[in-house]
């Protein structure tokens, strides 16, 4: 059977669960879903081969020189290993050949039963050369009985489907439990007492909250009372995972623990500037050019289906809320670089300054799509809103290099945000900039407290998005001879006082008659 057919028919029944249970008891250590799948596939292939050999133990492979009797089962390698029963024999008649026999074979249908309508004739006792004559039988037997299919071939053909099916069944079992990607029998977990937990908390506290591996914690507390090292780690992971004092923060395949009370507040709760209160809009209003602009901006809140991995570059344009809070968006570009393990809400990483190698503790907050820990990096390099930031995987696991294209600082004209009477206004002033940036999204602010207050006022008063956009276009239009503002500039400015992805902003621009598109993503307030 081809590997893809085997994958399509893969199932896990109660006998398989019992096999897995015995496997875990015999190994005396937890196993991952992938490891269990490898053992289970190997067992199922062996069972299928044994069943086939038993079912066809008296069958013979078709070979024209041989003779056959009524009632014998024959397997035909040239017919994709179809099999049938000899139901009649008669002498053959052909003057070009020495005497031979003709056998009538009734073939099995797809359900394995014999059907009278599927009868074919074949030569037997043939002395003349024939294309189907065989001298080797071993290789064909191996193919027919399934011994030629390997676990690696099966997994290569459909690992995702197999792991999904297997894991779904494992979750249904009351006797099995999964911790940090590995499975074991819940009744055989080593006891972890209150004293062990207090010691684990104290060890993490001494180490600044973490992160520490389970093995490091076990070494410090002197281990548990019994069990193999692997089982002790599994048992401690299981109990720590149930205790709210401890937070598992490792990337996929790595278990690291942190004290929840010592995690940064911006990690425990989404900063207000990044919190998004969904804004209803009609996506169908956005034409292909607008959707392309949305892909270009790559806001972490934009629909994931907009993006294709082969079109994404690991670079982002820094927006005001991320610059103010000290975060990066976990958008389509950053998801290619940063770990996004499904089993953890928060993941600890080390952020490395690509300019001088300084390291900062970082946190990937998967649920709310941001990476925290870049305040010092932004301030040290005086990066403006609109700067291009890159992220690449470091040489060591868990390290991410954050960088930008630096050059000798030069003085540039920058739009400055100036709150006046609960409204956003703008002024232009000179600022020293030493990094590449997107001029359309470039912004600055001197009085950050006043800007924060404007954001809070806008939030409390629930100011409509259309009203915010109208105020922004009115204020920015005074700085343009044409009185127009680019959609990217509008997006950048809106996010100073209300968090919004590009979709609702573009949708509001199209739907509201107060706004007029003048081409090239430029907008102005409609006359009258």
Pairing mode of beta strands 370-372, 359-365: antiparallel
The pLDDT assigned to 367 comes to: 87
Per the structure, the complete domain to which residue 108 belongs is given by 60-136
Return the pLDDT at 138.
Answer: 47
* Domain assignment of residue 389, yes or no: yes
pLDDT in tens, 158-183: 888 888 888 888 888 888 888 877 88
**What are residue 188's phi and psi, to 5 degrees?**
-105, 10
Domain containing residue 254: CATH number: 1.10.10.10
Q: Does residue 313 lie in a domain region?
A: yes
Regarding whether 498 and 417 lie in a shared domain, the answer is yes
> What is the 8-class DSSP label of residue 90?
E
pLDDT value at residue 206: 94
Q: What is the pLDDT along the chain (528 residues), one digit of tens a residue?
A: 567 667 778 888 888 888 989 988 888 888 888 888 899 888 888 888 787 777 667 788 888 888 888 888 888 877 777 778 888 898 888 877 788 888 888 887 655 455 556 888 888 888 777 666 665 554 555 555 555 678 888 888 888 888 888 888 888 888 888 887 788 888 888 888 899 999 999 999 999 998 999 999 999 988 887 778 888 888 898 899 889 999 989 887 788 999 999 999 999 999 999 999 999 999 999 999 999 999 989 999 988 777 775 566 788 999 999 999 999 999 888 888 887 656 678 899 999 999 999 999 999 998 899 999 999 999 999 999 999 999 998 888 788 999 999 999 899 899 999 988 888 889 989 999 999 999 999 999 988 999 999 899 988 888 899 999 999 999 998 888 888 999 999 999 999 999 999 999 999 999 989 999 898 899 999 876
18 shares its domain with 85: no
Tell me, yes or no, whether 163 and 224 share the same domain. no
**Burial of 207 per CB tally in 10 Å (0-12, 13-18, 19+):** middle
**What's the per-residue H, E or C state across 262-289?**
HCCHHHHCCCHHHCCCCCCCCHHHCCHH
CA angle in degrees (0–180, nearest 5) for 288-291-293: 110
pTM of the model as a whole: 0.73
* pLDDT of res. 31: 87
399 and 417: one domain?
Answer: no
In terms of domains, do 389 and 470 share one?
no
- Residue 177's φ and ψ, nearest 5 degrees, are -140, 145
What pLDDT, on the 0 to 100 scale, is given for residue 381?
94
* Helix segments in 207-348, DSSP class H: 214-221, 229-241, 265-268, 288-297, 320-325, 332-335
- Would residue 214 count as lying in a domain? yes
Q: What is the pLDDT of residue 325?
A: 94
Point out the domain boundary residue: 384, 407, 430: 407
Check whether residue 162 and residue 79 sit in a common domain. no
Could you give the number of structural domains in the chain? 5
Q: Are both 417 and 511 inside the same structural domain?
A: yes
């Amino acid at each position: 059977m081809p590997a893809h057919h085997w994958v399509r028919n893969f199932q896990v029944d109660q006998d398989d669960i019992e096999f897995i249970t015995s496997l875990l008891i015999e190994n005396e250590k937890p196993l991952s879903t992938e490891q269990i799948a490898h053992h289970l596939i190997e067992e199922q292939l062996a069972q299928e081969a044994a069943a086939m050999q038993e079912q066809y133990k008296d069958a013979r492979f078709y070979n024209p020189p041989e003779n056959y009797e009524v009632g014998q089962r024959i397997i035909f390698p040239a017919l994709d290993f179809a099999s049938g029963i000899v139901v009649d024999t008669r002498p053959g008649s052909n003057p070009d050949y020495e005497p031979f026999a003709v056998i009538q074979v009734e073939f099995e249908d797809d359900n394995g039963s014999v059907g009278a309508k599927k009868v074919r004739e074949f030569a037997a006792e043939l002395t003349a050369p024939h294309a189907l004559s065989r001298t080797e039988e071993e290789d064909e037997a191996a193919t027919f009985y399934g011994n030629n299919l390997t676990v690696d071939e099966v997994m290569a053909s459909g690992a995702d489907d197999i792991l999904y099916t297997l894991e779904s069944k494992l979750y249904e079992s009351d006797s099995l439990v999964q911790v940090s990607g590995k499975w074991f029998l819940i009744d055989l977990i080593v006891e972890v007492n209150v004293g062990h937990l207090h010691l684990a908390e104290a060890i993490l506290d001494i180490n600044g909250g973490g992160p520490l591996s389970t093995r490091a914690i076990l070494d410090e507390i002197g281990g548990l009372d019994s069990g193999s090292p692997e089982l002790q780690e599994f048992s401690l992971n299981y109990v720590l995972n149930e205790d709210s004092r401890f937070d598992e923060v490792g990337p996929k395949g790595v278990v690291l623990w942190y004290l929840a009370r010592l995690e940064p507040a911006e990690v425990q709760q989404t900063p207000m500037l990044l919190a998004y209160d969904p804004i209803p809009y009609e996506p169908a209003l956005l034409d292909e050019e607008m959707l392309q602009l949305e892909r270009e901006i790559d806001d972490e809140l934009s629909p994931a289906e907009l993006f294709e991995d082969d079109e994404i570059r690991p670079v982002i344009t820094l927006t005001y809320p991320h610059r103010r809070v000290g975060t990066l968006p976990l958008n389509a570009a950053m998801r290619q670089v940063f770990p996004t393990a499904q089993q953890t809400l928060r993941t600890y990483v080390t952020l490395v300054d690509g300019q001088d190698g300084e390291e900062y503790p970082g946190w990937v907050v998967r649920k709310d799509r941001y990476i925290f820990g870049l305040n010092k990096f932004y301030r040290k390099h005086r990066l403006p809103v609109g700067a291009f930031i890159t992220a690449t995987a470091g040489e060591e696991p868990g390290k991410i290099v954050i960088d930008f294209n630096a050059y000798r600082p030069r003085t540039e004209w920058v739009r400055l945000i100036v709150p006046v009477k609960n409204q956003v206004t703008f002024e232009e002033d000179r600022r020293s900039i030493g990094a590449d940036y997107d001029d359309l999204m470039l912004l600055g602010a001197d009085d950050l407290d006043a800007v924060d207050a404007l954001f809070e006022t806008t939030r409390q008063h629930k100011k409509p998005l259309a009203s915010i956009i109208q105020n922004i276009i009115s204020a920015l239009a005074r700085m343009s001879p044409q009185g127009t503002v680019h959609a990217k500039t509008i997006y950048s400015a809106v996010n100073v006082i209300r968090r919004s992805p590009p979709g609702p902003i573009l949708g509001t621009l199209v739907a509201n008659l107060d706004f007029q598109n003048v081409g090239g993503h430029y907008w102005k307030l409609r006359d009258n």
